[in-house]
Amino acid sequence: MKLNYKRTILVGFAFFLISAFWQAYDTIVPLILTNKFGMEQTYSGMIMSLDNIFAVVLLPIFGTLSDKTNTRFGKRTPYITFGTVLAAAFFIILGFSAKLIWFILLLLMCLLSMATFRSPAVALMPDVTVKPLRSKGNAIINLMGTAGGMLVLGLSIIFKTNTAGKTDFSAYLIAVSVVMVAALVAFLLTVKEPLWSSEAEAENAKLDKENEEKTKVEEAKPVGKLSRSEFVSLILILASVALWYIGYNAVTSKYSVYATEVLKVPYNVTLLVAQGAAIISYIPVGIVASKIGRKKTILAGVAMLTIAFGSASFIKEGTPAIVMYLLFCLAGIGWATINVNSFPMVVELAKGGDVGKYTGFYYTASMAAQIVTPIFSGFLIDKIGWWVFFPYAAIFAGLAFVTMFFVKHGDAKPEAQGALESLGGADD
């Protein structure tokens, strides 16, 4: 059994354009609000949190809607197509908004457009991938997303978006929108969703039948379509997702300030080290998970993240740079290990055509955490002091280890094949 890398990369163009948008959004919108409209950081932060609020409410809805959609283009493709076109159009107009009220209204429309297809786009990979190979598939999808973000960062250098006091970002927003539409065109010309989904569904049905014949499992009273044991595992996985995002996002959202005010060092190099370590880890982590299972791999990742954050609690001004690089490298590898395997565990529990709904559950947990943690961690820092910064992250990562430890479902059986074979990919 081999992952079809070509198909997975082509499907990944949807995540490529999503990541391109969010990289530009996170970089440019705060600059526009501050430089162009003179908004204070408190109010700017409130506006920037709208995307996570939208996500919590809308991602499960559109994930479920896409599950029930049936067109000749597939379940997910119509949402990806219309959502991308609308988001790109609103993003372009955003750069020409002269009044704050129009800017906010256009931003809301842009975020709404993105919310309509985020869950369907992410659900497409599990749709076209056999269950045991979804961790590998998710690794490729993450690589495609990283490529989209890196391309947009390159464009930001070309268009000099970091120029002090710059207020006109219209050319850059047009360029980003062109990248999004180009990725969409590549997706539409190459991805055959109905065919690929039906092939994967047939293969999954064979595997399910084989597993039923080999293993007899006594299940408790069902909760919906899940057994009670499966339902408990789903809740524990989602709780784990929320907990490690609470810890991780507290660091990523405030590390630049912490590094500048407390450590007195540049923040960007250490973050680049973490990102680089994550990128290098994606594919090996997917392969490891196929050998030892997703749960064990995630537990190892959570342990690495907890150790990295816990050890970083002892960093202070004057700490050798190599120590910081090593700890952030460990955190990056740990995060990649978690990220590649957690989403496949959630959709592994989906029954039949419910992948989109379960994708929405996953993003509801992660987005809710990212709404709460900047406020809660900021409150603790204001009241107690910066010394709580890394311990806060380590505690929540450690709690995620506990909840994940008791998960009993959502894993995939390790593959019985050699390492070289696992690297292979089937051709179309």
Taking residues 43-67, report their average pLDDT. 77
304-340 as b/e: b if 16+ CB within 10 A: bbbbbbbbbeebeeeeeeeebbebbbbbbbbbbbbbb
d(CA 411, CA 425): 22
| Superfamily name with CATH number, domain 221-414 | MFS general substrate transporter like domains (1.20.1250.20)
Task: Please spell the DSSP secondary structure of 87-121, one letter per residue.
Answer: HHHHHHHHTT--SHHHHHHHHHHHHHHHHHHHHHH
- Cα torsion 48, 52, 58, 59 to 10°: value is 130
The percent of residues in the chain predicted with pLDDT above 90, rounded, is 25
Angle subtended at Cα 335 by Cα 331 and Cα 339, rounded to the nearest 5 degrees? 175
- The pLDDT tens digits of the residues spanning 235-286 come to 999 999 999 999 988 887 666 567 767 787 765 567 667 777 877 887 788 7
DSSP class of residue 415?
P
Taking residues 10-16, report their average pLDDT. 92
d(CA 214, CA 221): 22
- The pLDDT tens digits of the residues spanning 110-124 come to 999 998 998 888 888
Which residues have C-beta within 8 Å of that of residue 57, sequence separation ≥ 6? none
Beta bridge partners of 226: 223
Question: Which of 339, 338, 333, 347 shows the shortest CA–CA distance to 412?
Answer: 347
d(CA 327, CA 304): 9
Is residue 161 a contact partner of residue 31, using CB atoms and an 8 Å limit?
Answer: yes
Query: For residue 267, what pLDDT is reported?
Result: 54
In angstroms and rounded to an integer, the radius of gyration of the C-alpha atoms of the chain is 21
Q: Where are the alpha helices (DSSP H) in 159-227?
A: 170-190, 193-214
Query: For residue 139, what pLDDT is reported?
Result: 77
Query: Fold for domain 5-200?
Result: Growth Hormone; Chain: A; (1.20.1250)
Task: Please spell the DSSP secondary structure of 10-44, one letter per residue.
Answer: HHTHHHHHHHHHHHHHHHHHHHIIIIIT---HHHH
Mean of per-residue pLDDT scores for the chain: 81
129-144 as b/e: b if 16+ CB within 10 A: bbbbbbbbbbbbbbbb
- The pLDDT tens digits of the residues spanning 31-45 come to 787 778 877 645 666
* The two domains 5-200 and 221-414 share their CATH topology (first three levels equal): yes
Q: Which residue has the tokens 């990102």?
A: 275
Q: Which residue has the tokens 């992952």?
A: 3
Beta bridge partners of 223: 226
- Domain ranges in the chain are 5-200, 221-414
Angle subtended at Cα 36 by Cα 31 and Cα 37, rounded to the nearest 5 degrees? 105
Query: For residue 58, what pLDDT is reported?
Result: 83
With cut-offs at 50, 70 and 90, classify the pLDDT of residue 213. low
**Is it the case that residue 92 has pLDDT exceeding 70?**
yes
Least confident of 77-91, 284-298, 329-343, 352-366: 352-366
Within 10 Å of residue 393's Cβ, how many Cβ atoms?
Answer: 30
Handedness of CA 361, 364, 367, 373 (dihedral sign): negative
d(CA 294, CA 412): 7
d(CA 41, CA 24): 18
